[in-house]
Structure 1
Amino acid sequence: MKEIDRMTPWEYTLRTKAYLLNQNEAERRVYTTAFANRLFKAEKKGRFVIKDVKSIYDYEKNEQTILADFKQKGIQKQEDTEDLYEMRQRLIRAKEIVSKKNQKGGK
């Protein structure tokens, strides 16, 4: 039976971070487009409450928040989790080796 490829916790965290950063970029595009539309529709004497895109959507702040959330989890915690996953895999392999030896009569 073929073993199914699984993501390690570290890979899952990395993929989640990439997904959230991509979502942040997509949101930025939406708000930038909205701001550009407002500029094109602006009248010479008209006043707008919104001065710039950053006043309604702060891309850099959101990006830093996403990155800080992952940093708070701690690299060490991710490494510990990765180590536990690797130890589990080694134990599974060791169990398989021992059971094969026992089936062959201990040799």
Structure 2
Amino acid sequence: MAKRLIPLFNRVLVEKIVPPSKTSAGILLPEKTTKLNSGKVVAVGPGARDRDGKLIPVSVKEGDTVLLPEYGGTEVKLGEKEYHLYRDDDILGTLCD
């Protein structure tokens, strides 16, 4: 049975991207060069409400590649996969190609 998590409020579910530790030619890369803390947005909540009750939408969407803080987020395990849950305002930015 496959489970799906839909975040509440301004939460964002992210699957971290694990950078390769080797090049295609088999050269081992130093750990420092593979340290970019990024992830792919899997699901987003509807957003938070302000004092007047107006909905403030989440600033990222499913499929975005985002830059994550070094620490923080809540680890969530669904089946065999591991995800992290962040607040929208904890995400540092969106990575573009």
The interval holding the TM-score normalised by the smaller chain is under 0.3
Question: Normalising by structure 1, what TM-score?
Answer: 0.25
Larger RCO: Structure 1 or Structure 2 (Cα < 8 Å, ≥ 6 residues apart)?
A: 1
Q: Which has the higher helix share?
A: 1
